[in-house]
Amino acid sequence: MIYQRKAHERGHARHGWLDSYHTFSFADYYDANFMGFSALRVINEDVIDGGQGFGMHPHKDMEILTYVLSGTVEHQDSMGNQEQILAGEFQIMSAGTGVRHSEYNASKDVPLHLYQIWIIPDKTGLEPRYAQRRFDDVHGRQWVLSPDEREGSLKVFQDMTLSRWAFMAGESEAVEVAANRRIWIQVVKGEVMVNGEQASTSDAFAIWDEPHLHISADSAAEILLFDLPPV
């Protein structure tokens, strides 16, 4: 089964300095059919005006991943981290027993574009932690998150992996899916086909009971592929 989540069907909020699209129910956006998918709880695509951002606020028992598409994040947290996250970098925090953090656009005049993704951990009460990584420019598949930090990926406390795939126009890949796994594909940019269904920038696919995937690109494209547990 493949269900396409079209970009324009997502929840949308415009708060002056923040333009945010919500794949799943979040804040004032509620849809009982979109409360999450497997261990995914939040996929927000945000554009933040220059000099603006989120002040100190708390999180608990959540794996929080930020992927910066353009611009720079200015990050501070209650663990003592004070970092900048540049375009192309990934940052993950385990909120665990509790953490407070702030995220601002480091530029005064250039918009910041990012994905923030929340993943429900497989255990509560984890010690809060912070990790940040810039991966080499990728062609093909690159591991971003895994429980065992495979091939230099960032650790996540969940039975899941996240891989980033980059395609040139006309390229394709075959993906074998283990039994009972759930797949979420987020199209970061470009035009792709997944098992014959076409999608564009910011569209997504929820996939289950599909043992084989054929992914092809009609243009230069990038996707995030989440391999998730059945519940």
Q: pLDDT for 113-159, tens place per residue? A: 999 999 999 999 999 999 999 987 778 899 999 999 999 999 999 99
**What is the average pLDDT across 99-113?**
97
Residue 98 has pLDDT above 80, yes or no: yes
Three-class DSSP labels, 77-106: ECCCCEEEEECCEEEEEECCCCEEEEEEEC
pLDDT, position 140: 85
Residue written as tokens 């390229």?
A: 171
Local structure of 151: helix, strand or coil: helix
Q: Which of 155, 178, 164 is nearest to 230 (CA)?
A: 178
CA distance 142 to 25: 29
Q: Give how far the C-alpha of residue 199 lies from the chain's centroid of Cα atoms, to the nearest Å.
A: 17
pLDDT, position 46: 98
Which domains, and CATH codes, for the chain? 9-134 (2.60.120.10), 140-228 (2.60.120.10)
Residues 18-33 pLDDT 10s: 999 999 999 999 999 9
CA distance 74 to 51: 10
Residue 171 has pLDDT above 90, yes or no: yes
32 membership: H or E segment, kind and range: none
**What is the average pLDDT across 197-210?**
98
Q: What is the mean pLDDT of the chain?
A: 96
Residue 112 has pLDDT above 90, yes or no: yes
Residues 27-71 pLDDT 10s: 999 999 999 999 999 999 999 999 999 999 999 999 999 999 999
Torsion on CA atoms 90, 227, 219, 171, rounded to nearest 10: 120
Structure letter (DSSP) for residue 150: G
What is the number of residues in the chain?
Answer: 231
